[in-house]
A and B are shown apart, each in its own frame.
Chain A
């Protein structure tokens, strides 16, 4: 039961994703994956979050907003990079796009995949919950 010990609030941050990763993030809320069973919630404000999930290679236009969002999250916080773009392994990594939102924002957990499956994302979030606990 350790993986369910900590209830986490998750704030999602899109930094130039293709929206494929968002389709899978959204799946976490459907009746098949329903992460509320784990005590996890996708929250509307960074102020309510413990975990920030980030997608995309990072774009020039998002850099400021991304940092501001991250700063608005109270400590302790864990950043999870979702998908190859965010981990720095995506199709658009490098100029003119960024090095990966997860790389630029020093993510604690990297979830590979293009996009990762909802199960992969769930495993990454479980790791984030563990990190918050430790």
Chain B
């Protein structure tokens, strides 16, 4: 599944390798450890890594000048892992340094003004700083600076046993907890040569799709709110509440924390399937009614249309993933691209959009929500009243593995290095939000300031998993 090529070749060869990998597959991100810089790529065959030795000097020629999506990754490698890059296009510290964020990138010019939003936002929203440069109402440039939720998680997890780390991995980011736990479990299970039973995989699929349902409902409600449509917001949030209660009915936790863990499940899940199935059916019916009404509201659709357009080339160059990529003409969905778990025999139909605007992103989420219910029903049917095997012990051998899943916002990747003692030597999280944030900034260019809430909410990205 993983090929690790360590190359000591010169910059040119390495860059040629990177370009070749980008043509064969999708660049997924990069990270460093004590000795290497690792550049990750995904293709239908799985994941591959190009690793470069850092040697004593820890000096590399930046790749992000060539492939812009590596920009954040390389800034992070520079600040956190002491990699000294030559020709780094944006060489500002990625996280706060001595308690202060680096200066925002702003555009100067006649009639251009700047204004800052955050880090404390007006709503109940994670912390982040957005610096707008605008000419009148039109946004010329947006610099999204995150990092306010940087808790030093990756270092905090070093030395932990995977079994101890699981609960913490589930708490890196609340909104994509189940997806991250799933990716982490896949990586650890690959190193432990453990393959969970089909019943466990069916349950994991249900958990992962429940996460998609409650997230997409929240995103659609928020997108309605961003367009000023209060009814769409209120009804959507009420349905999201019901979805969270369904999560609680499934596993005893409203946000599905710890439901998925290495070796199986981390808490009892779907013990009582009859009431769950009944509530699921009722929620599915009401969600269908909501979606029909929401997308039938002409005044709101006209706000979503042509707002925050991300052309396919931009989406690809900056590394968009998930609904953000599929709304711009992409088609990659990890569930079918690199199938895992029960998706191997229960593949979803992949939702795509074409208009590349907020409307397309919402439509992709609408179609995915409908498909998630169908997947849950199919898995539940297949599961029937089968009893679930207990969690398997996992003892990973030393090595490196990647776990990759499709979360609500797209590709969720966890890279894990396990040492001789079976402990985590290095863990790196590349979240769908981390990949998509630079796209939000591009999406806002040439849009009007009042459309920021609805364009932003059509992505509705997390901060916590991007900041870690």
Say if A and B assemble together: yes
A residues sitting closer than 8 Å to B (CB atoms) are 12-27, 29-32, 42, 44-46, 56-57, 59-66, 69, 90-92, 95-97, 114-115, 117
Name the residue among B96, B122, B151 with the largest chain A CB count within 10 angstroms: B151
Complex contact A18–B171 (CB within 8 A): yes
- What are the interface flags for B138-180 relative to A under an 8 Å C-beta threshold, 1 for contact and 0 otherwise? 0000000001111111011000000000011001111101000
Cβ–Cβ < 8 Å partners of A29 in chain B: 237
Contact between chains at A90 and B463 (CB < 8 Å):
no
Whether A97 contacts B156 by the Cβ 8 Å rule is: yes
CA distance A60 to B100 in the complex (A): 8
**Is B33 located at the chain interface by the 8 A CB criterion?**
no
CB-CB under 8 A from A16, the residues of chain B are 127, 148-151, 464, 467
Q: Which of chain B's residues 94-137 have a Cβ closer than 8 Å to chain A?
A: 95-96, 99-101, 119-120, 122-127
- Chain B: which residue is nearest A20 at the CB level? B174
Residues of chain B having any CB pair with chain A under 8 Å: 95-96, 99-101, 119-120, 122-127, 147-153, 155-156, 167-168, 171-175, 177, 218, 234, 237-238, 240-241, 244, 254-255, 257, 462-464, 467
Q: In the complex the two chains form, what is the Cα distance from A26 to B167 in whole Å?
A: 24
Say whether A60 contacts B99, CB under 8 Å. Answer: yes
CB pair B151 A92 closer than 8 Å? yes
CA distance A41 to B181 in the complex (A): 35
Q: Tell me whether B150 and A26 are in contact (CB under 8 A).
A: no
Which chain B residue shows the least CB distance to A12? B124
Contacts of A62 in B (CB 8 A): 119, 127, 148-149
Can you name 27 A-B pairs with beta carbons within 8 Å? A14-B124, A15-B127, A16-B150, A18-B173, A19-B174, A19-B463, A20-B257, A22-B126, A23-B254, A30-B234, A30-B238, A30-B241, A31-B241, A32-B241, A44-B123, A56-B151, A59-B149, A59-B150, A60-B95, A61-B95, A61-B99, A64-B100, A65-B127, A92-B152, A96-B152, A96-B155, A114-B257
When the two chains form the complex, which single residue of B149, B150, B153, B174 contacts A115, counting CB atoms closer than 8 Å? B174
With both beta carbons as reference points, the residue of chain B lying nearest to A66 in the complex is identified as B120
User: Which residue of chain B lies nearest to A92 when distances are taken between CB atoms in the complex?
Assistant: B151
Are B153 and A92 closer than 8 Å at their CB atoms? yes
| Residues in B whose Cβ lies below 8 Å from that of A114 | 171, 257
Kindly report which residue of chain B lies nearest to residue A56, judged by CB atoms: B149
Q: A18-B464, A19-B464, A31-B237 are in contact. List 5 more A-B contacts (CB 8 A).
A: A20-B171, A59-B149, A60-B99, A66-B120, A91-B171
Q: Would you call the interface of chain B mostly helix, strand, loop, or mixed?
A: loop
Please classify the interface of chain A as helix (H, G, I), strand (E, B), loop, or mixed, using the class held by over half of its residues.
loop
A65 near B119 with CB under 8 A, answer yes
B125 / chain A contacts, CB cutoff of 8 Å = 14, 22
Alpha-carbon separation in the docked complex, A50 to B172 (Å): 30
Given known contacts A59-B150, A96-B151, A42 and B173 CB-to-CB distance under 8 angstroms:
no
Q: Are B127 and A30 touching (Cβ within 8 A)?
A: no
Q: Give the complex CA separation of A44 and B173 in angstroms.
A: 24
- A69 vs B175: C-alpha distance in the bound complex, in angstroms? 25
B16: min CB distance to chain A, Å: 38
Which residue of chain A lies nearest to B171 when distances are taken between CB atoms in the complex?
A91
CB distance from A84 to the nearest CB of B (A): 9
Contact A23 B126 (CB under 8 A): no
Which B residue sits closest to A84, measured CB to CB? B171
Decide if B234 touches A31 in the complex (CB within 8 Å): yes
State A57–B468 Cα separation when bound (angstroms): 12
CB neighbours (8 Å) of A15 from chain B are 127
Q: How far is the CB of A77 from chain B (nearest CB, A)?
A: 15
What residues on A are CB-neighbors of B168 within 8 Å?
Answer: 91-92
Query: Which of chain A's residues have a CB closer than 8 A to the CB of B122?
Result: 44-45
**Cα–Cα, bound, A31→B231 (Å):** 11
* A95→B152 CA distance, assembly (Å): 8
Residues from chain B with a CB closer than 8 A to the CB of A20 are 171, 174-175, 177, 255, 257
